[in-house]
Chains A and B, each alone.
Chain A
Amino acid sequence: MTTPTVNILALETSCDETSAAVVRNGRQVVSNVTSTQEAIHRRYGGIVPEVASREHLLTVVPVVEEAVEQAGGWEEISAIATVHGPGLAGSLLVGVNVCKALALARDLPLIGINHLEGHVYANWVIDRSTSQDQPPPEFPLLALIVSGGHSELVLMRDHGNYELVGQTRDDAAGEAFDKTARLLGLGYPGGPAIQKAAEAAAEQNDIVLPRAWLPGSDDFSFSGLKTAVLRLMSGQSDADASWIAAVAAEFQRSVVDVLVTKTVQAAQRLRVRSVALAGGVAANRPLREGLREALAIPFYCPPFWLCTDNAAMSASAAYYHFLQRDFASGDLDVQPGLRLAA
């Protein structure tokens, strides 16, 4: 029996990227068009929610048109998916309202997607860098979602089924990277800046930063690390580039050690069949390599371009909603604080 072809158009406007994608049967990227606002926000020296919404408004129509055209036109589209949270309210509103209008005008089913669920499904997406016949991750699956705003371990027993295993009690991993990079004067975004500085560090150094193991819990804590870096800096009168590189390297080791060790422990205890890494911090090489080495079961991490915000991942997630006929009604609203699992 052959599976009927389902092409889903997804739109993602939860923060500062306007992205539209068409994905076939949950895995094959047919088109993916992204307009980034990073340069605009950099000019302001930070994020400006009002500017983000306005930019989404300006770019959303051409971005959607381009994604649909590359996919062969509207007659190829089976459903429309929109990310309705979590994210910035004003930004989410643009995507959700455009999708509601399109679904109505084109008489297509509408699917509401959680942004974090999208990140997890980046692991289902097949692109040029992955093998075309790569099997999908198997359930039960443990997902480690790490980004600027989130650090969570989520158990998936099946598609659309999410159970919270652990989460950060203070700062998210990506936030710890950003704030530590700022303390060390390494610039923004902090993830790539720390990784780059760490690569230049000497193999051996005597800098030691703590690891918050939180025994007996699958939760994380990264704010103590920031304070420990502050403490190191106050005791160092000549913080030259090599010393900063050594601190960056030890900071990264500390975050990666904790994430890898706790993920492996939870995976063993929960007897999952696979582990997936997701979110912006999934682009961190030592984290990807550390998990791959430490896990004895299949480990998935998305290609680099699928780690940051993109619509392809949401279109993939939407396919499994489509199969369940899990459609949203016309009164779907934005939920800036939407959670994936309780």
Chain B
Amino acid sequence: MAGLTISCESSRPEDTRSLGRQLGIVAQPGDVFLLVGELGAGKTVFTQGLGEGMGIREPINSPTFVLLREYQGRLTLYHYDLYRLANVESTVTREWEEFLYGQGVSAVEWANRASELLPADCLLLEFLIESDTRRVLKLTASGERHVALLSSLHCS
């Protein structure tokens, strides 16, 4: 499968949000963003930007406790969080599949907890904490559409 990897730097939350916003503006139905990184690395901030780019006006909160939040913008955004799940398999394969492979845009926090179960055609974002404020975001696109999406991105 075609793949592409690039790295971006973020020196403050606004950089991470702006990256999300850029991708949100061009996101298409069925796009899947898998977010991997420690607590406080910027996964929710990225998703907030993604939602802004998709024209969602309401605040995008952390879905940790409710597991999934749904927002309506230009497209539907499904914001998942696997942080609290013990048995990820039973949840991901049944309740969420129709969304993940549907016409909305999905952002999955703590995606590394279910990597084999999530779509292979995706944009994987790894958030690395370099220092108090600096993050390195490693973006890996799999599949033609996600490669095209990542190619359109401009980052510092």
Q: How far is the CB of B39 from chain A (nearest CB, A)?
A: 6
Give per-residue flags for A29-49: 1 if the beta carbon is below 8 A from chain B beta carbons, else 0. 000000000000100111111
- Interface class of chain B by DSSP: loop
State whether B61 touches A170 (Cβ < 8 A).
yes
A232's nearest neighbour on chain B, judged by CB, is B132
Q: Which residues of A, 193-231, contact B by the 8 Å Cβ criterion?
A: 219, 223, 226-227, 230-231
A-side interface size class:
35 or more
Q: Which residues of B, 22-64, contact A by the 8 Å Cβ criterion?
A: 39-40, 44-45, 48, 59, 61-62, 64
B-side interface size class:
20 to 34
Q: How far, in whole Å, are A149 and B67 apart by their CA atoms in the complex?
A: 9
Q: How far is the CB of A175 from chain B (nearest CB, A)?
A: 5
State whether A170 touches B65 (Cβ < 8 A).
no
B91's nearest neighbour on chain A, judged by CB, is A49
Q: Can you list 30 A-B contacts with CB-CB less than 8 angstroms, sorted by A residue number?
A: A44-B87, A46-B85, A47-B67, A48-B85, A48-B86, A49-B67, A49-B85, A49-B95, A50-B90, A51-B87, A88-B67, A149-B64, A149-B66, A168-B59, A169-B61, A170-B44, A170-B45, A170-B59, A171-B62, A172-B62, A172-B65, A174-B65, A175-B64, A175-B65, A182-B39, A183-B39, A223-B62, A226-B40, A230-B40, A234-B132
Binding site for B on A (CB under 8 A): 41, 44-51, 86-90, 147-149, 167-172, 174-175, 178-179, 182-183, 219, 223, 226-227, 230-231, 234, 336-337
Binding site for A on B (CB under 8 A): 39-40, 44-45, 48, 59, 61-62, 64-70, 84-87, 90-91, 94-95, 129, 132
